[in-house]
Amino acid sequence: MRSATTTGTTTLLSSDDVLAVADWNLIVESLREAYASPASEAMVPPRTMARGERAWLRSLTAASTSGDHIGAKLIMFSAESARASYPLLLLDRRTAELVALLDGHHITGLRTAATSALAADTLARPGALRVGVIGSGFEASNHVRALAAVRRLDSVAVYSPTPANRAAFAQSIIADLGVPAIPTESARQAVNDVDLVICAARSRDETPVIEGAWLEPGTTIVSIGSTLPEQREVDTATLARADVIVADVVEEVVGESGDFLAAEAAGVPASAKVSALADAVGNRVSGRTSEDQIVLYKSVGSALQDIVVAELVYRLATARGLGRAVPLLVEPVKK
């Protein structure tokens, strides 16, 4: 164990700084190592939510499995301005210094997609993947790129309600990754004859965008868009047909995801099939055990993901001299 040292500064890292050092391979591998390491429940406590008038603040805290940092990400949303902010604090476990303050917006995108790529690599059938994507925005784009870092992609089909958006998305995949990509006329067409489905878009009225009846044997589904009770992304039939369900935060997926709450209300005991991503990555439970199984990875996001990725970004950025070092924003006091 290293001895406690003080830097006397806090490094400020903007979204541009985060993106400048983002490397999908390094991010996925840092998360793979974190999820394979033992972590107690106390290291990653449940998130909290404070609600004000037309505004809310969510807090996610975790102690990294590296043993170096403890951190917190705050997400504040104001319905009045339709704006959100994502401050992320990284503190040295030994000195209690605030070593970094990061803009967590892109950290969130990076950790969500990289954790999904880790889950897909763990749960999908071996070999190259044919991918169907529902959504054409920030999360969908990140997910395809993160996945391409861990698996060869044979093809990508994408559906978005806006024809211009799905066409532009397909062109960006072709240009950036050299992977054949096509826009489709419907969500059902996008998931036809694929190995992996990425759900990265909810409907405006919270109607599920994926129906279990569409899924072929052997399909793996990554669902990231239903994190609150009022939100829906996959239908009840998807949860009923899934042979294996893996979640990044089991208690929150089962107890707070609208998809699971709807399934339980319909008499589908989906929660009995759920295991933790950490156990699947660490080989403590079996994930897919046959090529014909339908496997679902359900994510609500975890503070462990945020802090592990923030640690990596902080290390890479400071090594390159990025960010701005300022005198400690918060001075630790002796207790």
In a domain, 210, yes or no: yes
Structurally, the chain folds into a number of domains equal to: 2
In a domain, 335, yes or no: no
In contact, 172 and 165? CB cutoff 8 Å = no
Q: What local confidence, expressed as pLDDT, does residue 157 receive?
A: 98
Residues 60 and 117 grouped into a single domain: no
In a domain, 333, yes or no: no
In a domain, 319, yes or no: yes
In a domain, 100, yes or no: yes
Q: What local confidence, expressed as pLDDT, does residue 4 receive?
A: 52
Q: What local confidence, expressed as pLDDT, does residue 202 receive?
A: 76
Domain with 87 in it: 9-108+303-327
In a domain, 250, yes or no: yes
In a domain, 273, yes or no: yes
Instruction: Tell me the pLDDT of the chain (335 aa) as tens digits.
Output: 333 567 789 999 999 999 999 999 999 999 999 999 988 889 999 999 999 999 999 999 999 999 999 999 999 999 999 999 999 999 999 999 999 999 999 999 999 999 999 999 999 999 999 999 999 999 999 999 999 999 999 999 999 999 999 999 999 999 999 999 999 999 999 999 999 999 998 777 788 999 999 999 999 999 998 877 888 999 999 999 999 999 999 999 999 888 999 999 999 999 999 999 999 999 999 899 999 999 999 999 999 999 999 999 999 999 999 999 999 999 999 98
